[in-house]
Structure 1
């Protein structure tokens, strides 16, 4: 029997690749294309996906049932036009995911921040509770074999519900979590009022009789409580609020392995829904104790040994001195996320929770250097003032040029550029060490200089942004800064 064939345009994306894996698990023939090869496309090829580089109608098979395209691509992309000529069903990522989700009892995780970590934790807690869920998440999860997808045999489908371009309007969840609502994706929604209306519309699409889980600490959600209550009443749904000011928050904070108050809040959301669905508390806490985070979310990448200024003494026969630096990679690209992440590092670097006594105290004294690549010119411009105040917990800051998103960005305005941000931060915080670096080739040298100038024996280097900065992180780890 001939297999049905699905083709993904933009298959290297984190969401698209997870959906491709779902079709593979359903025994479909799967192919795809992307503008450039990546770690994800290489992984997919090993799993059986035929990947082509570049967008061309010749990438399509003659017998094609479905073409799924990334929401970031224009409709005149050659493969999209070619698929229509072949008579294939042409759908967006969110439309395809929404159609699949309707065949399950869907549990959606929405919110401006924290969706990926929360979805991963929810999937793991359901798995620990014996529910064997299917999970699609916008990051890689070690417990899912380093993938962004888990295929299960149970009724539950835990998915990350992204609000960009109204993608979550395609989903009809039975139960849901909304972690927070913030000024995000204003390139699409234009106003914050439209963002709030979008989340209420999403809530109104839920299946009657489910569970609605909300963050009591989020001022925007709490301000919408009257509208939320009206929707819940019409749906005969149960409203469940969680808060960091609850006794359970303190209990979770004591056992949760990943640091940060924002992650305690994410775990609280998962605890609230998982318990409502029947997962035992001990099963939930077993996940919290062992979960070490996900790809590009405060991800520990390795240690670097950086020679101090005394290294010059080597030519005079003096002893070499080195600084140990823990290197982390993080996806934060919004002021709220940056603040939460740097605060978490300031309070408790990732490995500090594994230590006790003096050792833990010493780690808390480490200095933090952040290398930040702004993501999307529109975001930087619309939230410029907020970005200026986002790096207070960083002892040193290196700003790279703005990563402009192909097909969904505005022209770069020099008044709101990365260089302008550096100058604005220096004006407001003159004591902070801030550098704008036009040429990333000098990054190793400048990191070395900045860490050397901080009064601390050890440090933490946080590589931050949603663009391609993670590639620079890989280069740093491979080449070792100490070889400068």
Structure 2
């Protein structure tokens, strides 16, 4: 936008957030509140994990939407992209009164423009990488803030870490080119491939969006990129040609230089690996070799932020800082819905994961199987969007090979999607079935609860996976199995 609406100094600025319980806007509310803004908001009456976070911060919000919710003295109204600004009563009321409005991504972009900012992006891995970055920032005591698109235990369960204002790092999303609102001095790209095909035409369109985002870096800006990913290498070739003034910093198993991963091993529930010529190993206690790549990206990002801003860490000497970086990685336990442990009962481990693209499904399931070495890996999957399912159907067919049993449901639709073709959860089940030992189909996730409870045995790992609402099944199964275990204990007392 040509004229900034959000000032750098937010003290006493009145901001109203429409959809304040959403992960992104709730975190943004925390950021604004910490900077002295007077924050209000509105959302549905449905309860989310963010309710407790907003209540803890003393941020006022109304349940239900109405034009009357918009404060008379509001300086700006920020709204979630889930709502249509042409029809939502609070957004249209703000326009009627002449109150400036911004989408969440526009507001985040304006916030980033007022400070040294790092954007973390990629079709997969951006949430985990940003959360790892935040864990390191917290451990090292750096004067900055980090915003993640999920709840993070080391952030106290919220989605934002606030330790100061010398820099700002945020997860930035490629969907509908939202990341082009961000104003980065550093960008991290984890991977690039075809996705969000309800919006993008094809892979080339996705790649070009990432090239455009990278090109927003200023002269001398740092582009931290995964050398192992073919799509990222494609982006780098184009950026290097058009913007030779951007510093390209590569990480990965195939990279050279200080962020080259080597000596990786998995033992006793932990990954160990080294970076560059440094022989002192890093430790990471979450599943998946792909998360070693994410960890290298996080280390690179924090190191480059410190080099660029000269922000002082609590362990300000190089050895002290290096120890803090390692401690930040080792203490990282994951985020909500990323291989999240929901519970363990009677020798059965129940996990939940947001993975919804074939590439991340295959990598995540392979990582879980390697990490937990279960008796059986049982996966419940709910596809998200008809377009993604139809366009990537052949890739979905091969994505579940690590699973011993797969359960599939109807496709979880997106309100933002327009799809005129024909595809169903049954179609997905039909292409996956020949490639797995056993597949069962239940239209609704909770319809599978009795089947799953009867199937699970000690030593199994059960994973609910996808961007739909089948996460409810994992919790229902845990509740039922816990109740059965309590009943057995009571009967033998």
TM over 0.5: yes
The 1:185–1:439 alpha-carbon spacing in structure 2 relative to 1, beyond 3 Å, is closer
- Number of the residue aligned with 2:280: none
Distance 2:303 2:19 in 1: 37
- Cα deviations across residues 439-481 of structure 1 (Å, max 9, x unaligned)? 33332211134336xxxx5100001111222333333333336
TM-superposed deviation, 1:33: 2.1
Match of 2:147 among 111, 136, 140: 136
Residue 269, structure 1, aligned to residue 297, structure 2:
yes
Residue 194, structure 1, aligned to residue 205, structure 2:
yes
The 1:74–1:294 alpha-carbon spacing in structure 2 relative to 1, beyond 3 Å, is same
Residue 237, structure 1, aligned to residue 246, structure 2:
yes
TM-superposed deviation, 1:275: 3.0
Distance 2:461 2:184 in 1: 40
The 1:143–1:166 alpha-carbon spacing in structure 2 relative to 1, beyond 3 Å, is same
The 1:171–1:441 alpha-carbon spacing in structure 2 relative to 1, beyond 3 Å, is closer
- Number of the residue aligned with 2:72: 62
Residue 82, structure 1, aligned to residue 93, structure 2:
yes
Match of 2:161 among 132, 150, 166: 150
TM-superposed deviation, 1:149: 0.8
Residue 53, structure 1, aligned to residue 97, structure 2:
no
- Cα deviations across residues 339-364 of structure 1 (Å, max 9, x unaligned)? 11100011112xxxxxxxxxxxxxx1
- Number of the residue aligned with 1:286: 327
Q: Which structure has the highest helix share of the two?
A: 1
Distance 1:190 1:11 in 2: 31
TM-superposed deviation, 1:194: 1.1
- Number of the residue aligned with 1:356: none
- Number of the residue aligned with 1:440: 445
Residue 296, structure 1, aligned to residue 334, structure 2:
no
- Number of the residue aligned with 1:311: none
The 1:163–1:224 alpha-carbon spacing in structure 2 relative to 1, beyond 3 Å, is closer
- Number of the residue aligned with 1:317: none
TM-superposed deviation, 1:36: 4.1
Distance 1:435 1:124 in 2: 39
CA contact (8 A) 2:240 2:246 kept: no
Distance 2:432 2:44 in 1: 36
CA contact (8 A) 1:249 1:264 kept: no
- Number of the residue aligned with 1:325: 348
CA contact (8 A) 2:393 2:428 kept: yes
Runs of 4+ with deviation above 6 angstroms: none
Distance 1:107 1:224 in 2: 18
- Cα deviations across residues 205-232 of structure 1 (Å, max 9, x unaligned)? 1122122111111011213332121244
CA contact (8 A) 1:249 1:268 kept: no
TM-superposed deviation, 1:191: 2.0
Distance 1:439 1:174 in 2: 45
3-state SS, counterpart of residue 16 of structure 1 = helix
CA contact (8 A) 1:304 1:482 kept: no
Number of matched pairs? 441
Distance 1:46 1:242 in 2: 39
TM-superposed deviation, 1:60: 1.5
Which consecutive residues of structure 1, in runs of 5 or more, have no partner in the other structure? 306-323, 350-363
The 1:337–1:123 alpha-carbon spacing in structure 2 relative to 1, beyond 3 Å, is same
TM-superposed deviation, 1:41: 4.6
Residue 463, structure 1, aligned to residue 474, structure 2:
no
CA contact (8 A) 1:119 1:160 kept: yes
Match of 2:418 among 410, 424, 429: 410
Distance 1:373 1:412 in 2: 20
Distance 2:356 2:96 in 1: 39
- Number of the residue aligned with 1:479: 480
Distance 1:157 1:170 in 2: 15
Match of 1:342 among 365, 375, 381: 365
Distance 2:93 2:463 in 1: 43
The 1:462–1:284 alpha-carbon spacing in structure 2 relative to 1, beyond 3 Å, is same
Distance 2:424 2:171 in 1: 31
Residue 28, structure 1, aligned to residue 12, structure 2:
no
- Cα deviations across residues 17-57 of structure 1 (Å, max 9, x unaligned)? 11111111123232222234222352223432333333321
3-state SS, counterpart of residue 261 of structure 2 = helix
Q: How does 1:309-324 map to 2 (within 5 A)?
A: 324=347
- Number of the residue aligned with 1:423: 430
Distance 1:459 1:102 in 2: 48
The 1:400–1:412 alpha-carbon spacing in structure 2 relative to 1, beyond 3 Å, is farther
3-state SS, counterpart of residue 269 of structure 1 = helix
- Number of the residue aligned with 1:219: 230
CA contact (8 A) 2:453 2:477 kept: no
- Number of the residue aligned with 2:276: none
- Number of the residue aligned with 1:257: 285
- Number of the residue aligned with 1:393: 402
TM-score normalised per structure 1: 0.86
